[in-house]
Amino acid sequence: MRTRAGLKSARAHSVKELLARSAPALTGFTVAAERGNFWLKWLAAHLPAGLSQHVSGAAEREATLVVFADSPAWSARLRYALAELEGEIRAAPGAPKTVRVRVLPRADAAPRQDG
């Protein structure tokens, strides 16, 4: 029979520490999620309210900030607004080199019924 008397492990103080220690690959996902949340908050603070409510997500991919709009029409408007904010985006902590806008409908959006 084995006993735990001989086993000593460092005690984790948070779930984040525990996950980082047991699954290093998850750390990258955690960092990416934190950066996405940072940019969502940043965009909500810097975009007009009518436009920021149509941002369905944000992610950093290889020094590129990808901002998702919930429809093609809002994507075009968002592209112009982000071009005007480019200087402020580059001044943000850990600023990306480029900004892209893509369409990503919200998961909770009800399907359109035509006809």
Q: What's the pLDDT tens digit per position in 88-97? A: 998 888 889 9
- Amino acid residing at 72: P
The answer to whether 82 and 67 are in contact (CB under 8 A) is: yes
- Amino acid residing at 76: A
> Does 110 fall in a domain?
no
What is the number of domains present in the chain? 1
Neighbours of 55 (CB within 10 A): 21
Start-to-end CA span in the chain (Å):
72
CA distance 88 to 5: 56
> Does 16 fall in a domain?
no
> Does 112 fall in a domain?
no
Model confidence pLDDT, tens digit, residues 30-64:
777 888 899 999 999 999 989 999 999 999 988 99
> Does 7 fall in a domain?
no
> Does 93 fall in a domain?
yes
Query: Which structural domain range is residue 91 located in?
Result: 32-103
